[in-house]
Amino acid sequence: DTGVSQNPRHKITKRGQNVTFRCDPISEHNRLYWYRQTLGQGPEFLTYFQNEAQLEKSRLLSDRFSAERPKGSFSTLEIQRTEQGDSAMYLCASSFNPSGTGGEQYFGPGTRLTVT
Amino acid sequence: KQEVTQIPAALSVPEGENLVLNCSFTDSAIYNLQWFRQDPGKGLTSLLLIQSSQREQTSGRLNASLDKSSGRSTLYIAASQPGDSATYLCAVRIQGAQKLVFGQGTRLTINP
Which amino acid type is present at position B55? R
pLDDT at B81: 97
Which residues of chain A neighbour B29 with C-beta distances below 8 Å?
A: none
pLDDT at A19 over 70: yes
Mean of the per-residue pLDDT values for chain A?
Answer: 92
Residue contact B34–A58, C-beta within 8 A: no
Q: Please name every residue paired with B20 in a beta bridge, in sequence order, or none if there are none.
A: B76
**To the nearest whole angstrom, how far is the Cα of A63 from the nearest Cα of chain B?**
20
Q: Is the peptide bond between B8 and the residue preceding it cis, with omega within 30 degrees of 0?
A: yes
Residue contact B46–A104, C-beta within 8 A: yes
List the strands of the sheet with A19-24, edge to edge: A5-7, A19-24, A75-79, A65-68
Task: Tell me the average confidence (pLDDT) per consecutive run of 10 residues in chain B, 112 residues long.
Answer: 94 96 95 95 93 94 96 97 97 90 97 94
Q: Please name every residue paired with A77 in a beta bridge, in sequence order, or none if there are none.
A: A21, A67
- Residue of B89, B93, B98 with shortest CB distance to A56: B98
pLDDT at A101: 56
- Please, which pLDDT band fits residue A100 given cuts at 50, 70 and 90? low
pLDDT at A82 over 90: yes
How wide is the angle at C-alpha A39 spanned by C-alphas B65 and B50, nearest 5°? 15
pLDDT at A99 over 70: no
Cβ neighbours of residue B34 closer than 8 Å, sequence gap 6 or more = A104, A105, B46, B47, B48, B49, B50, B90, B91, B92, B93, B100
Q: Select the more confidently predicted residue: A102 or A8.
A: A8
- Of A101, A96, A82, the C-alpha closest to A16 is A82
pLDDT at A63 over 60: yes
pLDDT at A78: 97
pLDDT at A1: 54
- Residue of A4, A42, A45 with shortest CB distance to B104: A42
Per-residue HEC secondary structure of chain A comes to CCCCEEECCEEEECCCCCEEEEEECCCCCCEEEEEEECCCCCCEEEEEEECCEEEEECCCCCCCEEEECHHHCCEEEEECCCCHHHCEEEEEEEECCHHHCCCCCEECCCEEEEEC
- Of B42, B87, B81, B46, the C-alpha closest to B64 is B46
- Please, which pLDDT band fits residue A87 given cuts at 50, 70 and 90? very high
* B20 contacts B35 by C-beta, under 8 angstroms: no
